[in-house]
Amino acid sequence: MDIHEFYMQRCLDLAIKAIGHVAPNPMVGCIIVHNNQIIGEGYHQQYGKAHAEVNAINSVAAELVYLLTESTIYVSLEPCSHHGKTPPCADLIISKKIPKVVIASNDPNPLVAGKGIKKLLDAGVEVVAGVLKNEADFLNRRFMTAHLKHRPYVILKWAESSDGYMAPNEPEQVWLTNDFSKKLVHQWRREEQAIMVGKRTVEIDDPELTVRLIEGRNPARVIIDRSLSLPASKKIFHDNASVFVYNDLKEQVDGHTHFIQIDFEQPVLQQVLKNMAVKNIQSVIVEGGPATLQHFIDENLWDEARVFTASVKLGVGKASPKITGELLKEEWIGDDKLKYISNTSV
């Protein structure tokens, strides 16, 4: 690892702290280095608040501010060049006369997309780009997918028995995984903007789809209910998060519940994901049931799968989805095996 990669890794370590707090903005970390010493660092902590570059510059001690004109600033994403909720970070870097900028990823947002780098170069700032680019792109895979594919990043999640079943044949709720795995799932929910389940799952399990086992924000809930047959008493309609109900009867907002009319004669999931993208929802975790999950797989509308295999056997039941992809890693959560699978065909 060369010196640029060493410092950029610190930027990535800072950036990941913001997961679940800055969407639809990207996670960004930034450090300022003078003579191989870090004199400032920061990250984008909350949507609408100061960007990483601002926090890093503001963290430099007053007696060291004069060193900025001799320093290198490392940032994990191309500095913004437009006025949004905050002023352009490229302008800030130029105003502080920082002579060199090292960047990991280019920003795919059309409002930036190379304009930040161009602005720096035009001002005489030296720019080094592409340092740990793959790692930085993966960190911001939700943001990248939203801007490059115009749909949310789709994470499929399910738990299966050791003999390959998700649930019994009879309509009853059965927990397969242990308490540690359940808590981890709630952490994942906090990290994504939306959560989706099938209508049948709501009818049988009546899930809350919250992060109640940890602290944090509940994701928006997404459900496809063509004829609007689900009763309002179901927990998915509780007012602790927004709800998006895709149907073919009405387009209406009723408090926190958004009824969105789509054409069921056309590909449904593509319409749902496109509409979510328009609403600036950059990630969704799909938690079942097996038919809903298999539809995403069959239509190749998924990016990542997280599959728990419990020690319990069911003997018979509803078979788990059939999926192929690149196994990223395996780990044990107590006595549950957890596999992370990447879709390499999208």
pLDDT digit string (tens) for 273-325?
999 999 999 999 999 889 999 999 999 999 999 999 999 999 898 999 999 99
Q: Can you give the length of the chain in residues? A: 346
What pLDDT score was predicted for residue 85? 67
What pLDDT score was predicted for residue 39? 97
Average pLDDT, the chain: 94
**Catalytic residue annotation:** 53
Helix (H) or strand (E) holding 294: helix 290-298
Averaged pLDDT, 117-138:
96
Quote the CA–CA distance of 278 and 152 in Å, as a whole number.
Answer: 10
Quote the CA–CA distance of 107 and 109 in Å, as a whole number.
Answer: 6
What pLDDT score was predicted for residue 87? 77
What pLDDT score was predicted for residue 175? 82
Beta strands in 211-261 (DSSP E): 220-224, 243-247, 252-254, 257-261
Report whether 74 contacts 30 (CB < 8 A): yes
Quote the CA–CA distance of 25 and 82 in Å, as a whole number.
Answer: 14
Report whether 308 contacts 176 (CB < 8 A): yes
Report whether 151 contacts 222 (CB < 8 A): no
The answer to pTM > 0.85 is yes
Averaged pLDDT, 115-143:
95
The percentage of residues in the chain with a pLDDT greater than 90, rounded to a whole number, is 88
What pLDDT score was predicted for residue 254? 95
CA nearest neighbour of 12 among 116, 178, 153, 135: 135
What pLDDT score was predicted for residue 1? 66
Quote the CA–CA distance of 277 and 149 in Å, as a whole number.
Answer: 10
Phi/psi at 308 (5° precision): -90, 135
Q: Is residue 83 over pLDDT 70? A: no
Report whether 129 contacts 100 (CB < 8 A): no
Report whether 246 contacts 272 (CB < 8 A): yes
Q: What is the pLDDT of residues 197-221, one digit of tens each?
A: 999 999 989 999 999 999 989 999 9
Taking the alpha carbons at both ends of the chain, their separation in whole angstroms is 30
Q: What is the pLDDT of residues 38-54, one digit of tens each?
A: 999 999 999 988 999 99
Beta strands in 106-230 (DSSP E): 126-128, 153-160, 165-167, 194-196, 220-224
